[in-house]
Amino acid sequence: MSNAALEKIYDDRRLFGHPVGLGVLFLTEMWERFSYYGMRGLLKLYMVNYLFVVSRQVVQGGEATAAGDPNAVIGWNFIRNLIDSDPTTPVGAYASVLYGWYTGLVYATPILGGYLADRYWGQRKTVILGGALMALGHFAMAYENWFFIALLLLIIGNGAFKPNISTQVGNLYRPGDPRRDGAFTIFYMGINLGAFICNLICGTLAATKGWHWGFGAAGIGMLLGLIIYIFGQSSLAPDSLTVGREKATEDAPATRAPLNAAEWQSVKALILLCMLNIVFWAVYEQQGNTMQTWADEKTVWPLIGSFQVPATWFQSINPFFIFALAPLFDMLWRWQASRNQEPTSVQKMSIGAGLLGLSFIIMVFGARAIGDGAGSWFWPVSCTILLTIGELYLSPIGLSLVTKVSPARIVSIMMGVWMASSFFGNIVSGYIGLLYEKEIVSNENFFWILTGLGLATGALMWAFSKPLDKIIARSQGDALAAK
C-alpha cells in the first residue's frame, strides 16, 4: 500500500503518546460499560427482591413494602418452566440461571455482530446500531412487565457494539507497534472506570429512589457513550469496507480469499485458548452471581455517617482495583521486557487463571469464620482484589492477542469468537451457582470447587503455552514480513 494510503489508516496525532482515537474509544467504552455493569449490578437482586416475588422491595435493600405479580412479566411462566417447573424451587435458583444466560448471551451475539461488520456494515455503523439498541433496552427496564424484552434488546445491541469497539483499538496501531498491549490496558481501564462509577450512581439511586432510577441512569450512560462515539469518528481508523484494511491485503477482492495454512493455525490456537477461557469466566462471573448474594445476605457493610453502604457497591470493588493496579502491571511488564523476562501472552493468561483460583481460598476461610451468620466485608473484598489481579493477567492480554494473531480480514469475527468463550462461561456460571443457591454443597466446599477449577485452568494454559506461543510468534512474524 502507498504511504498516502497508510496515512489514512494510521493517525499519527498523539494524546499522551497514543493516537487521539484511543481517547474517543476509551470514553465510549467507559460509558457503555457504565450502562452494562450498572444494570448488571442490580440484576440478580432486582429479580430476587422485586420482580419475581409478590412482596417487593420498593428500593434496593429496603423493607418489602409493595405487592407484586410475577405472572404479569411477559414470558415469565414459560421461562420459569424451562428452568425448573418445581414450585418449591427458590427464586434465587431461577435468578442464578437467568443471570448466567443473560450475561452469557451478551457475549454470544458478538460473533454475529463481528460478521456483519466485517462483511456488510463496517465497524462504525454496527457500533452505532448496537449502542442505540442497548439504550432502548436500559430504558425498557423501567417497565417490569417488559423485563425479558429489555434483556433481548440489550443482548442484541451488545452483540453489535462490543466486538467492533474493541477491534477499532487494534486498528489504530501498525503491526508490531509495541504500544498495542499498553493501549488495550488503557482501554481496559476505561471499561473498569465505567464499571466502578456505575454502581456508586446506579446502585445508590436504586437504594434511595427505587430500582427503576438505577436502570434509567444506566440508559443515560449508554446515550452519552453513543454521542461521544458519533462526534469522535474523525479520529478513528477507517473501516475495512470504506478504504480496505491495510493489514489484510492491498485489494478488495482478496479480502474474500480463503485462509491459508498458517492463518488456520492461528485461528486454531485462538480457539483452543477460548475453550480454556470458558472455565475462567465460569468461575470469575460468580462475583456478580453468588458473590453478590453473599455480599447482600452474609456481609455487614459499614455506615458512612448515617448512610448505609448498599450491597450493590460491592460490584465497584473489582473495577476500582482494575484501574488502580493496571498502570502498575503495565510498568511491571515493561520492566520485565527490558530484561527479557516478560512472560509471553499465554503465560500471562495462565498466571491469571491460577490467581483467580487462589482468590477463592480466602472465601473458604471466610465461610468457616462466618458460619450461618453475617460477617466482615474483609472476606469478599480481599477475594475480589486477588481475583482482579488474575483478571489483569488474562482479559486485556487476550483482547490484545486476538487483534495481533487473527487474520486481519476476519478480526471482528475472531473477536466475537473470543467473546463467545464468555458466553459459555457465563452460562456455566449460572448453573455452578445452583450448587450455592440450592445448598447442594456447603459454602466452604463451593468455594473449594471454584478454587480447583481456576487452578486447573491455569495449569492447562501453562502446559499449552510453548506450542501456542510458537504459532503466535509465527503469525506476528508473517504480518510484519507482509509490510
* Rounded-to-integer distance, Cα 413 and Cα 378, Å: 41
Specify burial of residue 253 (Cβ count, 10 A radius: 0-12, 13-18, 19+).
Answer: exposed
Q: Is residue 8 part of a domain?
A: no
Please count the other Cβ atoms lying within 10 Å of the Cβ belonging to residue 483. 11
456: cell is 486447573
Rounded to an integer, what distance in angstroms lies between the CA atom of residue 143 and that of residue 447? Answer: 36
Domain that holds residue 243: 13-302+310-481
Is 6 domain-assigned?
A: no
Query: Which positions ≥6 away from 461 have C-beta within 8 Å?
Result: 273, 276, 346, 349, 350, 353
What value, to the nearest 5°, has the Cα angle with vertex 46 and ends 111 and 205? 100
Position 1 in a domain: no
In a domain, 157, yes or no: yes
pLDDT of res. 257: 67
Sign of CA dihedral 139, 143, 146, 147: positive
d(CA 165, CA 237): 11
> Which has the closest alpha carbon to 245: 399, 411, 3, 418?
411
Positive/negative CA dihedral, 101, 103, 106, 111 = negative
Contact between 390 and 359 under an 8 Å Cβ cutoff? The reply is: yes
Q: Hey, CA dihedral for 414, 418, 419, 424, is it positive or negative? A: positive
Q: What is the CATH number of the domain that holds 114?
A: 1.20.1250.20
Is residue 2 situated within a structural domain? no
The answer to whether the Cα torsion of 104, 106, 112, 115 is positive or negative is negative
Identity of the residue numbered 178: P
Residue of 423, 425, 427 whose CA lies nearest to 162: 423
Contact 316, 200 (CB under 8 A): yes
CB-CB contact of 221 with 31 (8 Å): yes
Contact 240, 118 (CB under 8 A): yes
State how many domains the chain has: 1
- Burial tier of 131 (Cβ tally within 10 Å: 0-12, 13-18, 19+): buried
Residue in the structure block whose three cell numbers are 434465587: 92
Altogether, the residues listed in the chain come to a count of 483
The predicted-structure confidence for 103-145, as pLDDT tens digits, reads as follows: 888 878 887 887 888 788 888 899 999 999 999 999 999 889 9
Q: 10-17 long-range CB contacts below 8 Å, 24 or more apart? A: 10/172, 10/173, 10/174, 10/237, 10/246, 11/172, 11/235, 11/236, 11/237, 13/235, 17/179
Which residues of the chain register pLDDT less than 50? 1-8, 243-254, 479-483
The Cα 467–Cα 52 span in angstroms is 49
55 strand-pairing partners: 67
Q: What is the pLDDT of residue 391?
A: 92
pLDDT at position 324, please?
86
Question: HSE on the CB side for 303, CA within 13 Å?
Answer: 3
Closest to 453 in 3D by CA, of 299, 281, 322:
281
Is residue 464 included in any domain, yes or no?
yes
> Would strands 18-19 and 303-304 be described as parallel, antiparallel, or unpaired?
unpaired
* CA angle (177, 178, 183) in 5-degree steps: 90
**Are 275 and 461 within 8 A, CB to CB?**
no
Q: What is the DSSP letter of 237?
A: P
298: Cβ contacts below 8 Å, ≥ 6 apart: 370, 373, 374, 375
Enter the C-alpha cell of residue 33: 460499560
Query: Within a domain: residue 153?
Result: yes
Q: Which residues of 352-375 are buried (b: 16+ CB within 10 A; e: fewer)?
A: bbbbbbbbbbbbbebbeebeeeee
pTM: 0.76
Distance CA 142, CA 311 (A): 21
- Grid-cell match 457500533, residue found: 127
Instruction: Quote the CA–CA distance of 21 and 42 in Å, as a whole number.
Output: 32
Q: Which helix (H) or strand (E) holds 20?
A: helix 20-46
Residue range 401-427, pLDDT digits in tens: 787 777 777 777 787 788 788 888 888
According to DSSP, the β-strands at 64-67 and 303-304 are unpaired
Instruction: Report how far residue 216's alpha carbon sits from residue 27's, in angstroms, rounded to the nearest whole number.
Output: 20
Does 5 map to a domain? no
